[in-house]
Amino acid sequence: MQQAAPLLVAFVSDLFFSTRIENAAHIAGFRMHLLERADALPGAPSPAAASGEALSGSSASLLDWLSQLQPALLIFDIDSSTLPWELWIAALKSASATRRLPILCYGSHVDTGRSARARDVGADAVVGKGRFTQALPQLIQKYARTPDWQAIAAGCAEAMSAIAQSGLQLFEAGNYFAAHEELEHAWKAEAGPGRELYRGLLQIAVACLQIERGNYNGAIKMFWRARQWLAPLSPACRGVNTPALRAAAAAVLEQVQQLGSARVAEANCSSLRPSAWLLPASP
C-alpha cells in the first residue's frame, strides 16, 4: 500500500526560514504544514478542566491537533515573538499523547539562555541558525520519527491473539474495565509492532470506562493517547478495520467534547463496540 509522505510541522514566523524549511522538507521527501502565529492554531479551545495535561486554552488545541496529525517532526523557531514556543513545547512533552513527537529547535547561537530554556522544557535538539540552514535536510532525516511500514504490515497480517479476542468480547458486552485488563495482557505478551493495536484498543476501552464514570478529563486523554498507536496501522490489522475504528473513536470524542465535563456520562460508546469495526471472518 502506498503511504503518504511523512509530515513535518514548522512553528516559524520568519518567511526566509519557512521557505528554506519547505524546500528542505521537499528534498527529504516530507510534506510540511506551517504555523506562523498562535492565533492560527486550528481548533477551538477545549472547556477548562484541572489536569496534569493541558485540557484548556491554546495548549489543549495544540495537543488535540497534533495528536490527530501525528507528524514525524516538529520544528520550532525559538526567536519567534508570535509563538508561545516555551509553553507549547512543555505541554507537548508532558502529555502522553504527544511526548514521543520529536522536536527540533533553532535560534540565535548568541542567546544561550534561550537555547537552554528550550532544552529544559523538552526540546530533543537545539541548534544555531547557521547550522540549521546549512544542514537542514540532514537534520530532518536525523530527528524525524517515521514508522517502519514493512514491519507494521507484517505485524498486522498476523492473527489476533486469543487473549485479545477475549478482551474484545468483554468490550462488546460493555464491560470496559475487564476488557482493558485483558487487552493490556495481550499487549504486554507481544514484542512486535502489532502489539500497538492492542495498546490502542485498551486505551479506547479505558476512555469508555471514564465516560461511564463521568470523568471528562480521563476520557479526553485516553482518546488522544490512542491516536498515536492506531494511526500507523494497516487498514486491515488482525481482523480490525482500523479506519472504521478511528472514525468511531473520533465521533465519540467529539460527542464528549460537545457535552463537556458536566454531561460527559451522557456520551454513548455503543458505536465503539467491536461489532462496528471488526472485519468479517474469512470463510
- Structural domains in the chain, CATH included, are 7-143 (3.40.50.2300), 150-276 (1.10.3450.10)
Q: Which of 51-65, 80-94, 150-164 has the lowest mean pLDDT?
A: 51-65
Q: Backbone dihedral region of 267: left (phi > 0), alpha (psi from -120 to 50 degrees) or beta?
A: beta
Interval 11-36: pLDDT, tens = 999 989 999 999 999 999 999 999 99
Q: Is the pLDDT at 46 greater than 70, yes or no?
A: no
d(CA 77, CA 162): 48
C-beta separation of 44 from 19 below 8 A:
no
Provide the percentage of residues in the chain whose pLDDT is more than 70.
93
Closest CA to 208 of 186, 183, 240: 183
Question: What pTM did the predictor assign?
Answer: 0.90
Q: Tell me what pLDDT residue 283 has.
A: 60
Provide the percentage of residues in the chain whose pLDDT is more than 90.
83
